[in-house]
Amino acid sequence: MKLVTVDSLKEGDILARDVMQEDYTVLLTKGTEIKEEYIQKLQDLSIVTVYIEDKVAQKENSVVEEKAIETESKVEEKEETKTKKEPVAKNPSRISMEEIKILRDDVERKIKDKVKDILEMHVYQHTEGLEQLAETAQNIITDILEENSVMEKVYDVKERSADIYEHSLSVCTTATLVALKLEMSKKDVYDISVSSLIHDLGLRYLVVRYEDQDIHFLPAKEQEEYKKHTIYAYTAVKKEDWVSEEAKNMILNHHEHKDGSGYPLGTDLMSRPCQVLGVCDEFDELICGIGKARVRVHEAINCIRNYSGIWYDNDIVQTFLQMIAVYPVGSKVMTNTGEKAVVVRQNNHFPERPVLRVLEDKFGQTVTEEKLIDLIKDTSVVIQTVLK
């Protein structure tokens, strides 16, 4: 699969993804063979890019598959000549860690780089390039919807540095998924996705240091300057007609709270789409240290849980909490049995009950043979501490 411009399409190309308009109306379905009249129609509708099947890659994959089948046959023939009693060596690392992300790594990298280029270009050159984020938002929604069982999974989100571009993308993907799980309208999902990518644009205008710092401990003047970042971002898109009024208000109000304790206006009138953005932004700021002291994922989740019904509607918080792993894959933990273990995979629908691989027994001795504990099956075991 590869992304190409509509202008470069040729008759006979095969679509690798559905082509949709902003309202999610499907124009052409995945698998459609491109014809000349389709190209003209896409151009008339201002569709710029589409995904098509990579024929070269398909041919190479076919050759590889044929060779793999041939090799497998030869291996099976050799195996049949071996005695059935031949012992199989145990490999304590044979169960690999299975990290689940909302977007594939390659897609995430590509989109992050694009978001960075667009936002930096806007700040330094004051171009009209922000409009490209509308297409980016649509592509993110499409990527999420194309994943199998996307609504059922528990996702790994890890602590990281305060990179506002990575932050914007992370907030966008989680907020979009929450909106989809809440069965919000297509327009609301799209507005959430677009506003998420732009919501922290105003941070690019600040001279206040906000990385890994709780802004409440800053001098009053610096606090006030930091809180203006929502106004700066809102002002940047205020006159843009490709951003809806709801999305603009979300950019302005994503730090407001239902109890009126937020900023910049201190209003208690938050739309539900704005609350979705607010929940996801608050969580991600905590784990990457934007305007806050950075904390571990399980600590951030506890903070979000405490805001349920106070800052945000209960159902929005609960929907968010059900999809984020409390202990991301790779986390080292101590169980109530005194064993030291590492998280190797998540259990769908149970964000607090992953599968563990034991590293050390309760006496501190290294476990040489693989021992897995599925916390769904073994309910007597719980995680007591997250180790650094």
Tens digit of pLDDT for each residue in 342-355? 999 999 999 999 99
pLDDT of amino acid 39:
87
Is the confidence at residue 332, as pLDDT, over 80?
yes
Is the confidence at residue 21, as pLDDT, over 70?
no
Task: Dump the DSSP string for 160-196.
Answer: ----HHHHHHHHHHHHHHHHHHTT--HHHHHHHHHHH
Helix (H) / strand (E) element for 64: namely helix 55-81
Strands (E), the chain: 2-5, 19-20, 26-28, 49-52, 332-335, 340-347, 350-360, 372-374, 383-386
What's the CATH code, domain 105-323? Answer: 1.10.3210.10
pLDDT of amino acid 164:
93
List, in sequence order, every residue forming a beta bridge with 21; answer none if it has no partner. Answer: none
| Confidence band of 81 (pLDDT split at 50, 70, 90) | very low
Backbone angles phi and psi of 51, in degrees to 5: -100, 130
d(Cα 287, Cα 35) in Å, to the nearest integer?
48
d(Cα 314, Cα 384) in Å, to the nearest integer?
26
pLDDT in tens, 100-152: 999 988 899 999 999 999 988 886 556 568 899 999 999 999 999 988 889 99
53 CB contacts (<8 Å, ≥6 apart)? 1, 13, 14, 15, 16
pLDDT in tens, 227-255: 999 999 999 999 999 999 999 999 999 99
The overall longest dimension of the chain from CA atoms, in Å, is 80
Mean of per-residue pLDDT scores for the chain? 87
Pick the CATH number of 1-79 from 1.20.58.760, 3.40.50.1980, 1.20.900.10, 3.90.105.10: 3.90.105.10
pLDDT in tens, 166-200: 999 999 999 999 999 999 999 999 999 999 999 99
Would you kindly state where each structural domain of the chain is located, as residue ranges?
1-79, 105-323, 332-386
Structure tokens at 384: 């007591």
Q: Average pLDDT, stretch 47-55?
A: 78
Which tops the pLDDT comparison, 386 or 55? 386
pLDDT of amino acid 56:
57
